[in-house]
Amino acid sequence: MTTARGLHAHVLETLGQRIADGVLPAGTVVRPELVAGEFGVSRSVVREALRVLQSLGLVEPRQRVGTQVLPLTSWELLAPTVIRWRGASPAYFVQQRELLELRLGVEPVAAALVAGAADPGPSGEAVLLAARDMLDACGREDSRAYLEADVRFHRALLTGSGNAVFTHFAGTVEALLRTRTSESRDTISRWTRDAAVRHEAVALAVVAGDAAAAGEAATALLRVTRDEFIAEAPDT
């Protein structure tokens, strides 16, 4: 038996994905009675789903118009849920490039902050352990273990910076990394040893307390990844 929570989640996921896919483009009026009929749910379930979409900037109720889909410029583009929907949409490569460019301005600074801390100990060790786990996963050809270690690496780097905003950004980065697992067009989702080695270079600089080298290594890591995504993006 499907619970009310399950029905809400299904309606939310479907509508959110349709908006991200462009099936419901900006300006579309979402009519609760039609949605309720399509999914066989109550209007209260639909209203709750629309409230969540509104909180994410995807829709907005307008007087005498109804609930209208908003343009991309209104979306909460750093919210993990929105990242997941865009990651499963035709905007996958665009989102990867956009957020990698943003990460270039954040993660090298985070790496330098961890390395330059009075005692980078636990944070530095967590970053290094994650990088070594990535290398180990490469040897075992275990893509799931590689992904989990990659997530841990970037989370440890951002949370270890001591910057609360960077710590909050860790959820965004994790959501972005996880979109790669379901993208069949993404030929670089085959986790490589070269990428793991670049992660290790960042970690070694961090544990050595070399802030400049840590920042430079993180910049190199993200630039290579960004350039790979640009090269792999389909022609539009």
CATH number, domain with residue 55: 1.10.10.10
Phi/psi for 185 (5° steps) reads -80, -10
pLDDT score, position 188: 42
Same structural domain for residues 101 and 37?
Answer: no
Residues in the chain: 236
Mean pLDDT of 96-117: 96
Both 32 and 139 in one domain: the answer is no
> Using 50, 70 and 90 to split pLDDT, how confident is the model at 3?
low
What is the span of the domain harbouring residue 25? Answer: 4-74
- 9-29 pLDDT, tens digit per residue, is 999 999 999 999 999 999 999
Is a pLDDT exceeding 90 seen at residue 53? yes
Across the range 168-174, mean pLDDT stands at 96
**Same domain for 159 and 112?**
yes
**CATH code, domain with 171:** 1.20.120.530
Confidence of residue 4 (pLDDT cuts 50, 70, 90): low
Tally of domains in the chain? 2
The burial of 49, by beta-carbon neighbours within 10 Å (0-12 exposed, 13-18 middle, 19 or more buried), is given as buried
Mark whether 93 and 187 lie in a shared domain.
Answer: yes
pLDDT of the residue at 187: 44
Same domain, 52 and 122: no
Mean pLDDT for the chain overall: 92
Distance CA 128, CA 130 (A): 5
- Is the same domain home to 31 and 101? no
Q: In terms of domains, do 69 and 113 share one? A: no
Whether 50 and 107 map to the same domain: the answer is no
Lowest mean pLDDT among 1-5, 103-107, 141-145: 1-5
Question: What pLDDT was estimated at residue 232?
Answer: 85
Question: What is the SS3 string spanning the chain?
Answer: CCCHHHHHHHHHHHHHHHHHHCCCCCCCEECHHHHHHHHCCCHHHHHHHHHHHHHCCCEEEECCCEEEECCHHHCCCCCHHHHHHHHCCCCHHHHHHHHHHHHHCCHHHHHHHHHHCCCCHHHHHHHHHHHHHHHHHHHHCCHHHHHHHHHHHHHHHHHCCCCHHHHHHHHHHHHHHHHHHHCCCCHHHCCCHHHHHHHHHHHHHHHCCCHHHHHHHHHHHHHHHHHHHHHHCCCC
Same domain? For 100 and 132 the reply is yes
The pTM of this model reads 0.89
Which of 48, 74, 100 is at the close of a domain?
A: 74
pLDDT of 119 higher than 80: no
Cβ proximity of 217 and 111 under 8 Å: yes
Kindly state whether residues 133 and 215 are assigned to the same domain: yes
Last residue of a domain, one of 40, 56, 74: 74
Among candidate residues 20, 52, 74, the one where a domain is terminated = 74
Above 50 in pLDDT, residue 233? yes
Q: Residues 132, 89: one domain?
A: yes
8 A C-beta contact, residue 20 and residue 77: no
Say if residue 59 is in the same domain as residue 91: no
What sign does the CA torsion over 9, 62, 83, 114 have?
negative
168 pLDDT tier (thresholds 50, 70, 90)? very high
